[in-house]
Amino acid sequence: MRKYKEAQVIQMIFKPQVVEAKMHERNDATNLYHVVARLQDNTHCRIIYNNGTKSISRLLKNPCPICRKDTHCKCLDRFVEEIASQVDFAQL
Ligand SMILES: [Zn+2]
């Protein structure tokens, strides 16, 4: 039986929920948007929309909800679509 690390298990069950999102920077001319979102577990992250591609990085206010590191990590990368889909651009 395969053994999983705790972080892997958390990543499998992690369900990000955006509770707050703010437009931080908006540049319609270059199609670049920068949104800061807060998740239900108080994780803050920055979503960058650059000409249709999205990337995410965690703000270092709180440890990562998945690996618990308080430095940069890539855990949220695979949730970028899920998190971004909860941000309604028209409302920002
Ligand atoms: Zn992490």
DSSP per residue over 33-68, as a string?
A: EEEEEEETTS-EEEEEEETTEEEEEE-TTS--TTT-
- CA-based Rg of the chain, rounded to a whole angstrom? 14
Distance 71 CA to ligand 1 centre (A): 8
Label residue 67 by pLDDT band (50, 70, 90): very high
List Cβ neighbours of 70 (8 Å cut-off, separation of 6 or more).
60, 62, 63, 64
Q: Does the pLDDT of residue 1 top 70, yes or no?
A: no
Q: pLDDT tens, 49-61?
A: 999 899 999 999 9
Distance 78 CA to ligand 1 centre (A): 11
Beta-carbon neighbours within 5 Å of ion ligand 1: 64, 66-67, 73, 75
- CB-neighbour burial class of residue 27 (10 A; exposed 0-12, middle 13-18, buried 19+): exposed
Predicted model pTM: 0.89
Mean per-residue pLDDT for 61-77?
Answer: 94
Distance 29 CA to ligand 1 centre (A): 33
